[in-house]
């Protein structure tokens, strides 16, 4: 069993890099209908909530063609725009496999789609979370560079035993990041933009903290995998995110080795505070309590 809980090699039918054929013709009408339901729900909600690079990417990739997109079709445009391509995987893949794909501009997307009774939440990334949530941002050249740099950083973090710090950077940016714009806060994180309820909660709810992004602060902050985030970090621009990641993390990891985690609900004295949250949602028990 490796550190991330995987036993041995790829599942039967998967290649050594854990990729599989998407088999787009194998999707049923019901599966395409789940995509369309989710797609129509999110695209009705996201104008004014998702950032411009996301909305532009959604259009550029023409993801509304009646169902689960054919990765080969998406890749013709995506490769032309930023050199990224989507590859199909059965689900979560080991960290080292994941980082190797990102470092080579391959985004591993779940091949399966959630069932109709899982519309609002599922733990494992399916094709809607990955392709609707993550892929449109990969059409932006700066974010495309960030994701490659993240992959390379992940490989190094693994070798230094600092994966848990780098996973927090991914979580609070790629998955749950917010961006400041002249029109107000906008979403760029895939975990938010692919979720109807969190697309509203992350921007509108008084419960979570919304704090200025600062690399070491983020790396010291645990995150929720089972419910809405209790804190969101706000970047001024995608360029800032890229510039931060191109720094040498060695000295940062050295400082993190003796720095305690920051409690998830805390607001620190030197935090730049956009919203000082009430934590009312989390304190009421969150989703499980039907808050
Ligand atoms: N595998 N398919 C897939 N998708 C992910 O987002 C993913 C993964 N494996 C590992 C992983 N993410 C995390 O370790 C990173 O987010 C740090
Ligand atoms: Fe994701």
pTM for the model stands at: 0.96
Take atom 15 of ligand 1 and give the residue whose Cα is closest.
167
What CA–CA distances, in Å, run from 39 to 26, 34, 159, 207, 223? 20, 8, 39, 27, 27
Asked whether 260 and 220 are in contact (CB, 8 A), the reply is yes
Distance 269 CA to ligand 2 centre (A): 31
- pLDDT score for 2: 57
CB neighbours of 14 closer than 8 A, spacing ≥ 6?
20, 89, 90
Beta strands 273-275 and 209-212, pairing class: antiparallel
C-alpha 111/C-alpha 88 separation (Å) is 5
Residue 291 confidence (pLDDT): 66
CATH number, domain containing residue 250:
1.10.800.10
DSSP assignment of 151-195: HHHHHHHHHHT-HHHHHHHHIIIIIT-EEEETTEEEE--HHHHT-
Q: Name the domain count of the chain.
A: 1
Query: Measured from the CB, is residue 20 less than 6 Å from ligand 1?
Result: no
Q: Is residue 64 assigned to a domain?
A: yes
Those residues of the chain that have pLDDT short of 50 are: 1
Predicted local confidence at residue 245, as pLDDT: 87
Classify residue 19: in a domain, yes or no.
Answer: no
Compute how many other C-beta atoms are within 10 angstroms of the C-beta atom of residue 201: 18
Would the CB of 93 count as within 6 Å of ligand 1? yes
Model pLDDT, residue 170 = 97
Tell me the residue range of the domain where 90 lies.
Answer: 24-283
Within-domain flag for 107: yes
């Amino acid at each position: 069993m490796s550190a991330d809980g995987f036993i041995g090699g790829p599942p039967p039918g998967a290649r050594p890099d854990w990729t599989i054929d998407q088999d787009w013709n194998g999707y049923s009408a019901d599966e395409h209908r789940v995509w369309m339901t989710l797609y129509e729900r999110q695209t009705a909600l996201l104008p004014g909530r998702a950032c411009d690079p996301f909305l532009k990417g959604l259009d550029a990739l023409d993801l509304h063609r009646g169902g689960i997109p054919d990765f080969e079709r998406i890749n013709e445009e995506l490769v032309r725009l930023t050199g990224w391509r989507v590859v199909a995987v059965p689900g979560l893949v080991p960290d080292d496999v994941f980082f190797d794909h990102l470092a080579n501009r391959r985004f591993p997307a779940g091949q399966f789609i959630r069932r109709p009774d899982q519309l609002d939440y599922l733990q494992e990334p399916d094709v809607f979370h990955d392709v609707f949530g993550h892929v449109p941002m990969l059409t932006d050249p700066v974010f495309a560079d960030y994701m490659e740099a993240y992959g390379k950083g992940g490989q190094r973090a693994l070798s230094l035993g600092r994966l848990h710090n780098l996973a927090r950077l991914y979580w609070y940016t790629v998955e749950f990041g917010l961006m400041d714009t002249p029109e107000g806060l906008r979403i760029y994180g895939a975990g938010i933009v692919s979720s109807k309820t969190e697309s509203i909660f992350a921007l509108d709810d008084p419960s979570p903290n919304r704090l200025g992004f600062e690399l070491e602060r983020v790396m010291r902050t645990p995150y929720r995998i089972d419910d809405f985030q209790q804190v969101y970090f706000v970047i001024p621009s995608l360029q800032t995110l890229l510039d931060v990641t191109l720094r040498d993390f060695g000295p940062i990891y050295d400082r993190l080795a003796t720095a305690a985690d920051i409690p998830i609900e805390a607001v620190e004295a030197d935090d730049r505070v956009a919203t000082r949250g009430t934590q009312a949602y989390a304190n009421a028990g969150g989703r499980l309590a039907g808050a």
